[in-house]
Every structure is written in structure tokens, then in C-alpha cells.
Amino acid sequence: MNTLRQLSVFAENKPGRIEKITKTLADAGINILAISITTTTEGFGAIKFIVDNSELALNTLKHNGFTATLNEVLGIKLQDRPGGLYSVTTLLTKNNINIENAHVFVDGHREKAYLLIEVENLADAKERLSREGLLFYPE
């Protein structure tokens, strides 16, 4: 199944956390393709990455004492034109798919953009959206 593995790192809201995490990834030679940050009012959050080598990134972070995990996300191809995102969100609504978290990822050649979504039932969402003719990463 062509889904993406997203790396999530638990972090307290305090200065320097992202710097430390990204330095650890940089030192391991890992390329970050996308990043998003979720914070809460409770003083912590999660930093989410799409990287070129998710297993290595996970092991490196854990080895350095970070609390991290990998989870599957769906990358929906976006059309590079006005209304491109709207046409996708319309289909999500139509299929009653509730997004827990989302961000955008531009592929290596800067040609294609993908909307990355975390949903409760990934397989089901993917099936419904493919019936609508949407394309996913990697194509």
C-alpha cells in the first residue's frame, strides 16, 4: 500500500527542542522533506517529519534519548493550480473523512505537492479517495 511513514517526536514546549532534534537528524545525514508542529496548551506537543530514511531517523532519535515513533499517513497528490487543495478537501468532506493532522509535502524535484493527512482509518480513506480518482504518493 503506497502510504508514507511519518516520524513523530514528543517534545516539551521549550526553546531549543526543535534545534536539538534537527541537529540529531542532520548529524545522521537524514534529509527532512516536510515538517509540521502540533502544540497543546498543556506545554507539550509533537513535531512531525517526513524524511528520506525513516527507520534510521527513528533509531537515531531513540538512541539519543528522544521519544519518537513512526506512523502511516496518506499523501494525496495536489494539482498545481488555484483550487487544487479545495478540490481535494471537497472530496474528503464528501466521503466523511475526518483529518486528525495534516500538512503539505513537496517532492524532491519541487514539481509535485502532496497533502499529508492522518486519519483514523487509513485504508478505508485511501480506498474511498482512489474511487474519486485521487493519486497518492509515491505514484
Partner 1 sequence: MYWNKEAETIETTLLDKLQADRLRSTVETLYANVQFYKSQMDRAGVKPSDIKTAADIRKLPFTTREDLRENFPDGLLAVSKENIVRLHTSSGTTGKPKAIYFSRHDLDAASELMARNLYMTGLRRSDTLQNMMTYGLFTGALMMHYGAEKIGCTVIPAGPGNTARQISLMQDFGTTAIHITPSYSLYLASVLQKQGIDPERDLSIKKAYIGAEPYTEETRNKIESLLKVDAYNCYGLSEMNGPGVAFECEFKNGLHLWEDNFIMEILDPVTGETLPDGAEGELVLTTLNREAMPILRYRTKDITKILTDKCPCGRTHRRIHRIIGRADDMFIVKGVNIYPQQIERVLMSIKGVAENYQINLENLDKMTVKVEIDSNMFDGNVEHIVNLRNEITELLKDEILVKPTVELLEPGTLPFSEGKAVRVIDTRTM
In whole angstroms, the minimum distance from the beta carbon of 33 to partner 1 comes to 17
Which residues make Cβ contacts (< 8 Å) with residue 120, sequence separation at least 6? 98, 100
12 binds partner 1 (CB under 8 A): yes
Alpha helix positions (H), 16-117: 17-27, 54-63, 84-94
The DSSP output letter for 28 is T
Name which of residues 93 to 132 contact partner 1 (CB under 8 A): 100, 118
Angle at alpha carbon of residue 16, lines to 14 and 17, rounded to 5°: 70
Q: Name the one range near partner 1 by CB under 8 A: 26-34, 35-43, 74-82, 88-96.
A: 35-43
In whole angstroms, the minimum distance from the beta carbon of 87 to partner 1 comes to 28
d(CA 127, CA 83): 23
In whole angstroms, the minimum distance from the beta carbon of 110 to partner 1 comes to 27
36 binds partner 1 (CB under 8 A): no
Of the candidates 126, 25, 38, 28, the one whose C-alpha atom is nearest the C-alpha of residue 75 is 126
Among 8, 24, 36, 60, binds partner 1 (CB under 8 A): 8
| Binding residues vs partner 1 (CB under 8 A) | 6, 8, 10-12, 38, 40, 42-46, 48, 62, 65-71, 100, 118
